[in-house]
Structure 1
Amino acid sequence: MRVRQHLLSIFFGVIFLIALALQSVAGLLVTNQENATHGEPALTWVQFVTSSDFVVDVAENWQSEYLQFFLFILATIWLVQKGSPESKQPGEEGVGSDREQLVGRYARADSPAWARAGGWRTWVYSNSLLLTMGTIFLLSWLAQALAGQVVYNQEQSMHGQAPIDLAQYLANPDFWNRTLQNWQSEFLAVGSMVALSIILRQRGSSESKPVGTPHEATSVEG
């Protein structure tokens, strides 16, 4: 019964690992095909998944995903979209009162300990989701930058050109091409979800309003 209560997390955890494993195998095959073309030795799976080529491909996707969630969480504090289940009701913008958020002296007996503690601990816990998403984004972005620099310098070396340092790579079009092609797709996906959920429905999904709910209804659970 406990497993059933966590099936949504388990499902996405499993398909994430499957997709990551398949990506590593496909990437290894592509890399070894390129190595064979240039007369270089083939890599083992372990060598490939610990290489900068694999790390940069994974990190550039992770950072864009977590930036998407960071911005969406932040935006939904202050911005509303009438008719979308992804939005608060118009007029409810802001962080809410302590009474509404059940923090400090308004916390319940079963509230998390830091919600009752007050001071900096309650502040940290009150913003813990945003802080965590932002931290993962920054770490993934840094990993992308460091691994991308290595990959770029390897290509520079193959063409007899001088390597560049991290600061130069961060100002390089190659870095921003990798970064922005992911950002634009994430922003489009989130914006589409917010807008399309106003008039479209999916029966039984918590991301959708009930099928018969009027289009202008906002913040309605399915």
Structure 2
Amino acid sequence: MRRFLRDNSLGLVFGLLFLAALVGQAFAGHADFNQQQLTEGLQPVSFGRYVTSASFAVDVTENWQSEYLQFFLYIFLTVWLLQRGSPESKELDKAGRESDQDQLVGAHATDTSPAWARVGGLRQALFSHSLGLVMGAIFLLSWLSQSITGVAAYNEQQLGNLQDPVSWGQYLRQPDFWNRTLQNWQSELLAVTSMVVLSIYLRQRGSSQSKPVGAAHTATGVEG
């Protein structure tokens, strides 16, 4: 068990932090929602009703879709785009899909290579792009979930204000939907830009996301 915890500590810790943050968001969101209810002269709702409501679901999914958009774009764009001096970039002479030898596929696969890296055809093609495809699929599903829960939450407000509800297609053209979407996109893209550029000049000793402390600022694709 101790070895399992050590070998999987990064994923386990981030998973626990995610659950803690999600629970914290649920309690804070419930309190904020009930404050708004009381301000509008309405009855507060139970915690269970809140965490199963469209209001809570849209707040969660709008963050998920922006995170997975960030990963999807980063995975695909770093195939071709480079940043001199950043450990987040490939080395400057390795732009593109790289050779089969570099990627250890087909005849260049090793004994420890995944089975689909050894075979050719569709299976190898799918496996070669599986990370980006899955991230992109999760982004699209999260964005779809945001739009569905968002229209439900929006229509609750519409009915509370004695206004007509809107259809899903109409909601996709509403400022509410794009305000929720773009405010998350811009923050994620700023975070990626900051990481790519700041890691050129700044260091974190021992981190795989940083260059070695003594590496030159121009060293590219080097992690320490």
TM bucket, shorter chain:
over 0.9
2:210 — aligned with what? 208
2:119 — aligned with what? 117
1:199 aligns with 2:191: no
3-state SS of the aligned residue for 1:3?
A: helix
CA RMSD of aligned residues (A): 1.0
Map residues 1-222 of structure 1 onto 2, 5 A cutoff: 1-222=3-224
Please, what TM-score do these two structures have when normalized by structure 1? 0.97
Structure 1 CA distance for aligned equivalents of residues 43 and 115 of structure 2: 56
Structure 2 CA distance for aligned equivalents of residues 11 and 216 of structure 1: 33
- Tell me which moved more, 17-26 or 45-54: 45-54
Report runs of 4+ in structure 1 exceeding 4 Å deviation. none
3-state SS of the aligned residue for 1:91?
A: coil
Superposition deviation, residue 193 in structure 1: 0.4
> Matched residues, percent identical?
57
Number of equivalent positions: 222
For 1:207, give the aligned amino acid: Q
Structure 2 CA distance for aligned equivalents of residues 13 and 176 of structure 1: 29
Question: What are the superposed Cα offsets for residues 127-173 of structure 1, whole Å, 9 maximum, x if unpaired?
Answer: 11101110110011001000110111111112221111111111111
For 2:140, give the aligned amino acid: L
Superposition deviation, residue 17 in structure 1: 0.2
Superposition deviation, residue 40 in structure 1: 3.1
Structure 1 CA distance for aligned equivalents of residues 74 and 151 of structure 2: 29
Give unpaired runs (5+ residues) of structure 2.
none
3-state SS of the aligned residue for 2:45?
A: coil
Structure 2 CA distance for aligned equivalents of residues 187 and 175 of structure 1: 19
Structure 2 CA distance for aligned equivalents of residues 46 and 121 of structure 1: 44
Question: What are the superposed Cα offsets for residues 49-73 of structure 1, whole Å, 9 maximum, x if unpaired?
Answer: 1110000000000000000011011
Superposition deviation, residue 108 in structure 1: 1.0
Question: What are the superposed Cα offsets for residues 87-133 of structure 1, whole Å, 9 maximum, x if unpaired?
Answer: 01112111111111111222111111111122111111111110111
Structure 2 CA distance for aligned equivalents of residues 48 and 144 of structure 1: 16
For 1:138, give the aligned amino acid: L
Structure 1 CA distance for aligned equivalents of residues 178 and 27 of structure 2: 26
Superposition deviation, residue 47 in structure 1: 1.4
